[in-house]
Structure 1
Amino acid sequence: MFKDTLFGPTTTEKMTQADGAVFLKLKHPLAEFPEKLTQKLIYWAEKAPKKLFLARRHPRNGQWEGMTYAETLQKVRAIAQYLLDLHFLEGETIVILSENSIEHALLALAAVHIGIPYSPISPPYSLISNDFGKLKHCLETMTPKVIFAQNGRVYAQALTLAKQLFPEAKIVTSEENNEIDFAELLATVPTKSVEVAHAKVKADTISKILFTSGSTGLPKGVINTHRMWCANLQQITQVFPFMLSEPPVFVDWLPWNHTFGGNHNFGLTLYHGGTLYIDEGKPTPKGVETTVQNLRDISPTAYFNVPRGFEMLIPYFEKEPELRDTFFKKLHILFYAGASLAQPVWNRLEELALATIGQKVPIITGLGCTESGPSAMFASWHGAYSGLLGVPVAGMEVKLVPNGDKMEARYKAPNVTPGYWRNPEATFNAFDEEGYYKTGDAVKFVDENEPDKGLLFDGRIAEDFKLSTGTWVNVGILKAKVLAEGSPIVHNVVLAGLDRDYVSAILFLNSDACRKLARLGSEISNEVAFLHESVQHFIDEMLQRLKAQATGSATWVAKAVIAIEPPSIDLGEITDKGSLNQRAVLKYRAHLVEKLYEE
């Protein structure tokens, strides 16, 4: 019934200490991996020089344009020489403000090639924020010597701020230039100094700084070394060995300022001599149209997305048989991350694959974070289900530490960060006395007697709270139930109830789904759509279904209120990747919480 996708071994070793801590690791060892990432670029430029590496649609004619591996290496060496000619001092870095692009990739690879730390900053910090607070914080943390943005006009305000903070910094743009044209970097003639600098790059050299989403405060800069990045790519390869025999083809929108898009997807493409088609779409009502158009053209071998993205693609798959055929015909896996995939969405994807190619395509996820570069464990087998995290990757030691009635997952492995950039206090607090990174993620065994069945997500330690009865509310599990029952109307949810008699919820709704349910046109405001009788009826029925499944006061939502205003990135209510900050939402929407507990 399932496609015969080749996966790596999943046999584990489990050990329990007298203090209750449990250690879990894969029996299969981690194989050797390159010392530095751009060794792979050199390798593929020699072995498959004419192979397409990166492609992006031309902004004017819409045609795919790209670079081969040989062209990429040549351009990387030219840019590297330009950077060396600037004579970077210790602590000076490169900052990239804009979205995924070929120029973004070239500048990043040039920096990595010669050992200059760079940081891709979340574009919403420059384009959506009203106060530029997070952008200013990231810039001041990085002290950049070079600042790049794809389009000088689009990023004008952010570049003005950057120039005010760092007057001596070089501003480089590729379109609508205002200081240095990216073409000037490409025109530089490389010398032997590029290879000399590359030879000095070692496994512990910093490759990049990835900022956390800032869901618990200002973003922290996670140090990514070459060892981290290369080790994790080898770990992922051992989970998905089919990539060794067939170079991957990805159609991918996930932003490179995040570890999922930048380390995992971009990195796997380079590691295996694959091709990445840059998708400029997003899982939004407008952006999904771009993604669908790209998927009409290209058949991926693996497809990565967030749960919302998969949900938005389903209606297109249902009404376009040719799109389904193109999408599924070469696909080995579907991979989601960032949140739980609602089981109805999971089931429908399997049904669509079965109807299209006669087999189900394995749906894969796992657990990880920016600090683990990103992958720590995978549920890489047929017949997985939502919430299953799987087993550790090769070379990863997972320590499960009792915390109340939960077990916190902690990591030690070559793919784990050495710490945070210029933040020794955060670095000290992030690791326990044995050097394990403290994730804050709670997990539990599917079967404690059979660890090979894997671990299940059990929420975030810091999010859980107690009701007035003293009963703990598992926020992660209950939130997943609300989203599953509320799909597609409920887009996100924040739970309240600390020291109260019952659990309540602030609901963030999907405006398009609400309009569709209420049979309203696009010109109708969100508020009217959200408060429509049909939507209210849907939410009432959802609450009744949750109540019917409940085993106690901590396992259902007694009351819910709709948030009319979307979450604010400036207030820290939402991260740029769409994750809600529970603490910030409850703080800034305290009036809604009080409404939920009025007599």
Structure 2
Amino acid sequence: MSYGELTAFSEKLADELSQRGVRGGDRILIVGENCVSACIIVMAISRLDAWSSFVNARLSPREIDSIIEHATPRLTLYTCHVSENAKAHSARHQAAPLPMPALGDIHIGVCNQSTVPETVYEGAEQQVAAMVYTSGTSGSPKGVMLTHAGLLFAARQACTSRCMNPGDLLYGVLPMAHVVGLVTQFLGAMLGGAAVLLEARFSASQALHILLNEKVSLFVGVPAMYARLLEQVQKEPLSTRQHALRCIGTSGAPLTSKLKKEVENLFGLPLNNGYGLTETSPTVAQTHIDQVRHDCSVGFPIPGIEISIVDADSKPVPQGEVGTLRIRGPNVMKGYYRNPELTREAISPEGWFNSGDMVRQDPDGALHIVGRSKELIIRSGFNVYPLEVEQVINSHSCVVQSAVVGRTVEHNEEVVAFIELNRPAQATDEADFREYLRERLSPYKLPAEIRFLEALPTAPTGKILKNALKQLAAQSFDHAQASPTN
């Protein structure tokens, strides 16, 4: 679809939605997966000053219904032509086909006549463009309100930092329900006049074929996607030196030195790392594509924002020491929808957003993510950062990815490691693995329990669901305590 067609179709759909009762300030839910129609829907909603809220169709009925209850959307649309899950949700909610065949099989629900629109603002820095729901594993859903100005600030940064231009083709596998897929992937490419090849779901074999045969020049994926690509190359040896890629990047999860080196050897390109959050639209820091780094730093704070690294008393820490990262700038969210108390906890009166992430900064300004403050494990009075343990575990040649969580035991905490192995190495001996860790970690950082899983639980974005693993860790401990042999 050309840019002209994108404009024409989004105008036509905006007229259709307006006739169905959509007003400025209404929330419009999109239950779906990546496709051209989803891009048209987002643009059409924006034309009406309504809020688009894209949720992944792979969420459970309970999760979808919880979001609908929270957002009270005026209308809900379903991208049935690219998602069996969206089709199932559409059937549950008795949605009907939208009479615009050019968009594909899009279904639309009944207009909610009782929903109340939010205030429409003239300024782009106040008017909400999109509400993105965070992928928590427990508790009520959090709707992050992102403004037009915030989204365009982040999209422009993504465009300029990667030098996107009309000659580029970006392979879009990150879900548009996630802020990186929506902003960096779609809006960033649009600002640069680039083309986007959208994929509804990531498949390592399909992705490898596309990257090697479709003249793709830009690709951004989460580390787990790159791990799957490396696995696929082992099964299906291919020459990767003929690709058209000029820039590859990753974000959304910690990057290990081992994975970085293997990916760079595979494609013959530096793997650029970045860091951000849904609440910051998303980008906070990024490595520079013209400056090769050999470490796993997430790079430098992007131009136009401020950062502060503070201790528990909100006082700046000395350079090089670990502290909590705070961010201030046009990319920071307007707040959490219908949750002013949580918004006040997250954003100070001076506009500082508390990321909850523990970081340290090099003398050259580069940031290193140490871990989440809420994930910090205190073992016998010593601080254990899960990311540090994960980095060591992931350096083992048999490991695809790992996740480390804390478990409370007898007024203390202990380390529990969940590990996903590459398929040929499923029989790795745990005793040998423990010896590998003992050589590389202090005793208080060693896992009390190691569990090998066929696959770690992940969200549709590829993010590891640590809350689910914490529950598994607690259950295994409770079971061991109840066993007659203990």
Q: Alpha-carbon deviation of 1:461? A: 0.4
CA distance in 1, matches of 2:368, 2:297: 5
Contact 1:464 1:473 (8 Å CA) reproduced = yes
Of 169, 181, 191, which aligns to 2:99? 181
* Aligned position for 1:463: 375
Considering only aligned residues, what root-mean-square deviation do their CA atoms show, in Å?
Answer: 3.0
Of 262, 267, 278, which aligns to 2:198? 278
Q: Which runs of 5+ in 1 are unaligned?
A: 1-66, 164-170, 172-177, 187-197, 355-360, 519-533, 568-573
Provide closer, same or farther for how the CA distance between residues 386 and 307 of structure 1 changes in structure 2, counting only shifts above 3 A.
farther
Contact 2:274 2:286 (8 Å CA) reproduced = yes
Contact 1:388 1:457 (8 Å CA) reproduced = yes
Provide closer, same or farther for how the CA distance between residues 484 and 596 of structure 1 changes in structure 2, counting only shifts above 3 A.
farther
Per-residue displacement from partner, 1:119-168 (whole Å, max 9, x unpaired)?
1112221xxx3xx22211111122222221122865344224445xxxxx
Q: Alpha-carbon deviation of 1:342? A: 2.6
Contact 1:410 1:439 (8 Å CA) reproduced = yes
- Whether 1:391 aligns to 2:300 is yes
Contact 2:150 2:330 (8 Å CA) reproduced = yes
CA distance in 2, matches of 1:478, 1:432: 32
Of 233, 243, 246, which aligns to 2:164? 243
- Whether 1:400 aligns to 2:309 is yes
Q: Which runs of 5+ in 2 are unaligned?
A: 105-119, 314-320
Q: Alpha-carbon deviation of 1:589? A: 4.4
Q: Alpha-carbon deviation of 1:498? A: 5.6
Contact 1:206 1:223 (8 Å CA) reproduced = yes
Of 377, 380, 383, which aligns to 2:285? 377
- Whether 1:591 aligns to 2:482 is no
Of 407, 416, 424, which aligns to 1:505? 416
* Aligned position for 2:436: 545
Provide closer, same or farther for how the CA distance between residues 418 and 487 of structure 1 changes in structure 2, counting only shifts above 3 A.
farther
CA distance in 2, matches of 1:390, 1:145: 41
Contact 2:22 2:75 (8 Å CA) reproduced = no
Contact 1:466 1:499 (8 Å CA) reproduced = no
Bigger drift between 335-344 and 270-279 goes to 335-344
Contact 1:91 1:143 (8 Å CA) reproduced = no
- Whether 1:426 aligns to 2:426 is no
- Whether 1:146 aligns to 2:92 is no
Per-residue displacement from partner, 1:426-448 (whole Å, max 9, x unpaired)?
211111242201100110123xx
Of 88, 91, 110, which aligns to 2:22? 88
* Aligned position for 2:460: 576
CA distance in 1, matches of 2:32, 2:88: 13
* Aligned position for 1:484: 395
* Aligned position for 1:556: 446
- Whether 1:100 aligns to 2:100 is no
TM-score norm. by structure 1 comes to 0.70
CA distance in 1, matches of 2:103, 2:265: 49
* Aligned position for 1:76: 10
One-letter code aligned to 1:456: H
**Higher RCO structure, 1 or 2 (CA under 8 Å, sep 6+):** 1
* Aligned position for 2:48: 114
CA distance in 1, matches of 2:462, 2:220: 16
- Whether 1:291 aligns to 2:194 is no
TM-score norm. by structure 2 comes to 0.85
One-letter code aligned to 2:420: L
> Secondary structure of the residue that 2:374 maps to in structure 1?
coil
Contact 1:483 1:493 (8 Å CA) reproduced = no
Contact 1:251 1:298 (8 Å CA) reproduced = no
Q: Alpha-carbon deviation of 1:584? A: 4.3
Per-residue displacement from partner, 1:261-284 (whole Å, max 9, x unpaired)?
1111111110100000112441xx
Q: Alpha-carbon deviation of 1:345? A: 2.2
Contact 1:306 1:338 (8 Å CA) reproduced = yes
CA distance in 2, matches of 1:565, 1:100: 24
* Aligned position for 1:9: none
- Whether 1:234 aligns to 2:156 is yes
Whichever of the two has the greater Rg, that structure is 1
Provide closer, same or farther for how the CA distance between residues 264 and 375 of structure 1 changes in structure 2, counting only shifts above 3 A.
same
* Aligned position for 1:526: none
Q: Alpha-carbon deviation of 1:116? A: 1.3
Contact 2:132 2:178 (8 Å CA) reproduced = yes
Provide closer, same or farther for how the CA distance between residues 486 and 494 of structure 1 changes in structure 2, counting only shifts above 3 A.
farther
Percent identity of equivalent pairs: 20
Contact 2:10 2:41 (8 Å CA) reproduced = yes
Contact 1:543 1:558 (8 Å CA) reproduced = no
CA distance in 2, matches of 1:138, 1:199: 24
* Aligned position for 1:475: 386
* Aligned position for 1:213: 135
* Aligned position for 2:89: 158
CA distance in 1, matches of 2:454, 2:396: 20
Q: Alpha-carbon deviation of 1:258? A: 0.1
Of 270, 273, 283, which aligns to 1:362? 270
Of 226, 231, 245, which aligns to 1:331? 245
* Aligned position for 1:49: none
One-letter code aligned to 2:145: I
Q: Alpha-carbon deviation of 1:93? A: 2.1
CA distance in 1, matches of 2:209, 2:157: 33
CA distance in 1, matches of 2:85, 2:128: 30
CA distance in 2, matches of 1:366, 1:386: 12
Q: Alpha-carbon deviation of 1:554? A: 3.0
CA distance in 2, matches of 1:408, 1:229: 24
Per-residue displacement from partner, 1:226-278 (whole Å, max 9, x unpaired)?
100111122334433x325x643111211000011111111111010000011
One-letter code aligned to 2:391: A
One-letter code aligned to 2:372: R
One-letter code aligned to 1:367: Y
Provide closer, same or farther for how the CA distance between residues 90 and 141 of structure 1 changes in structure 2, counting only shifts above 3 A.
farther
> Secondary structure of the residue that 2:351 maps to in structure 1?
coil
CA distance in 1, matches of 2:92, 2:342: 27
Q: Alpha-carbon deviation of 1:587? A: 3.2
Q: Alpha-carbon deviation of 1:397? A: 0.4
